[in-house]
Copies of this chain bind each other. A is one copy, B any other.
Amino acid sequence: MRIAVLGTGSVGRTVAPALARLGHQVTVGTRDPAATRAREAWDLDLPLTGYDTAADDADLVVNATNGQASLEALTAVGADRLAGTVVLDVANPLDFSAGFPPTLTVKDTDSLAEQLQRAFPEARVVKSLNTTTAGVMVDPRSVGDGDTTMFVASDHAEARALVVDLLHQLGWRDVIEFDTLSAARAMEMWLPLWVRLMGTLGTARFNVKVVRDEAASTS
């Protein structure tokens, strides 16, 4: 699959090479490629372009940007380019402007994923992976032998299935699907507890397992 990963922060720099290792053809998109290349931290052996061309041939666009910059990044990709394309939104609408812990810029009656879907109504937005740290997103086996839970939400069944398949490739076995993107509100509102747990446990290497009867639905 041809995948454009938008964002060169810790999430983009973790997700992009992991998808490439799975055999996908990955291009990384950033606002200013020259500035990104000049940064010491940039050492990925993957094509790096501006947002405007990163997704030119992409079957899947992964939004791994800062939640507050996501709308701008997808706008730079272009509504025409995103029409019909699956957008996997792994970002969180975190606001650190008042310090720690962060608050959410959107919540309860709306979500970042829904904001993106409304801005690009012809894209097919899928929310997933935002509930763990980047290293766990791409290596679920690193926590609890891989027996933890990942969530997926989208209004588009085919797009959801494409992402679930990608999750399986990454090693996720327990995937709970929500058939409406509005469930992204709940997935993003998990972040405050995630942040508190990180502080108390002293590590970001954790995840939740939703423990229930085996009969309960999963994919």
Contacts and interface: CB of A to CB of B under 8 A. Distances in A.
B186 A203 contact: no
A67 to B, nearest CB: 14
A87 to B, nearest CB: 21
Contact-residue size bin, chain A (C-beta under 8 Å from the other chain): 35 or more
A203 B212 contact: yes
A210 B107 CA distance: 23
Nearest to A201: B216
A89 B200 CA distance: 21
A97 interface: no
A201 B217 contact: yes
A205 B210 CA distance: 10
A36 interface: no
Copies of this chain in the oligomer: 2
A186 B192 CA distance: 5
A189 B192 contact: yes
Contacts of A202: 216-217
A197 B186 CA distance: 10
A104 to B, nearest CB: 6
Interface string A174-205: 00111000010111011011011100111101
Contact of A144 (B183, B201, B205, B211): B211
A212 B217 contact: no
A216 B196 contact: no
Contacts of A109: 103
A183 B193 CA distance: 8
A59 B14 CA distance: 51
Given A147-B211, A189-B189, A190-B193, 6 more contacts: A107-B107, A178-B196, A201-B210, A201-B217, A207-B210, A209-B211
6 contacts: A108-B192, A147-B211, A176-B197, A185-B192, A203-B216, A206-B211
